[in-house]
Structure 1
Amino acid sequence: MESIPAPDCHFLNAAQGWLELGNAAEARLEWRGVSETHQSHPEVIETLWRIQAAEKEWDEALLTAQRLVDHSPGSPSGWIHQSYTLHELRRTQDAHDKLVRVAKRFDTISTIPYNLACYQCQLGDLDAARNWLERAMKIQGRDSIREMALTDADLKPLWPELRNL
């Protein structure tokens, strides 16, 4: 991937730093400093998505995630962000359908089966949710996924059995 030259890389780093500090408004101000020339760079697009997600601007975030998928279809982040955004827009079936299409392509990324478990759980298919969660555990480790799942409201119907793992 092409690197982003100064001063745009400085604006991008500052935006990412503000996001890490939990200040999406300042992140957006820094992000706006990135020149138009580099606004189609995948890292710049992803940072914009993170800003929009932090501000819960889901309609805009969906467009940004779709743009990231278009620019970098070989990267899992765009697909993950797109499905997450659809879920936040209460389009969980769409979120599932988009993400399941690329699950095999990115079979070493635990976020994909984990998110699919969340979507299936919310759609009422607990057996499918269990299967996806098991896949995530095989990739990232049982304890790590279990700990995360026990704080994830999307997986609340599975909490009793997760506590017993």
Structure 2
Amino acid sequence: MIPTSTRLSYANGYIELGMLKEANEELAAIVGSDRLLDDVLSLRTKLYLEMENWELLAATAKQLAQQAPQLVHAWIHWAYALREMNLNAQAKSIALDGLKQHPRNAILWFNLACYCSLLGELQDSSDHLDTAIKLDKTFEKEAVDDPDLTALWDWLKSDT
């Protein structure tokens, strides 16, 4: 029997090589109770993100966030998957919950700004974007080209 740690290593390598079917097969071969380990669920979220399988990503990231709330990527992936399914109000709610656990995470603040922009909550979007940029200056440049922020930019232009 191949140990779970070895299967995780193989699966991660396959993901890095873009061999998603093979990665999925490695993860599927992990034995029963190990399938719910944080490391296994984390790698599954990575796989589902690469596969753009938003439903499986949302379900897996939700489970991971609930059992290991200290893992910020679980919150980020859960909210992002919901956004990709056009469930922006739910994505916003999950990002806010994630920020209770990780109040200084710039990615969550940036994504929250995007969700608010998509929902037409433009002042909130602007405030959240400011917070993200204060935490990580790279988001200033990223924000310019993010299509989720188009409504925010239009609103700010009309305000001047």
How far apart, in 1, do the equivalents of 2:11 and 2:143 lie? 29
Unaligned residue ranges in structure 2 (runs of 5+):
none
Change (3 A) 1:103 1:88: same
How far apart, in 1, do the equivalents of 2:26 and 2:125 lie? 39
Aligned-CA RMSD value: 2.2
The question of 1:30 aligning with 2:12 is answered no
Q: CA deviation at 1:72?
A: 0.7
The question of 1:76 aligning with 2:72 is answered yes
Partner of 2:128: 132
Q: What TM-score do you get using the length of structure 2 for normalisation?
A: 0.84
SS in 2 for 1:107: coil
* Greater fraction helix: 2
Partner of 2:141: 147
The question of 1:88 aligning with 2:84 is answered yes
How far apart, in 2, do the equivalents of 1:151 and 1:27 lie? 32
Partner of 2:10: 14
Q: Percent identity?
A: 27
Unaligned residue ranges in structure 1 (runs of 5+):
1-5
Change (3 A) 1:15 1:112: same
Q: CA deviation at 1:74?
A: 2.8
Q: What TM-score do you get using the length of structure 1 for normalisation?
A: 0.82
Q: CA deviation at 1:158?
A: 4.3
The question of 1:115 aligning with 2:128 is answered no
CA shift digits 1:98-120 (9 cap, x unpaired): 22133143112111101101101
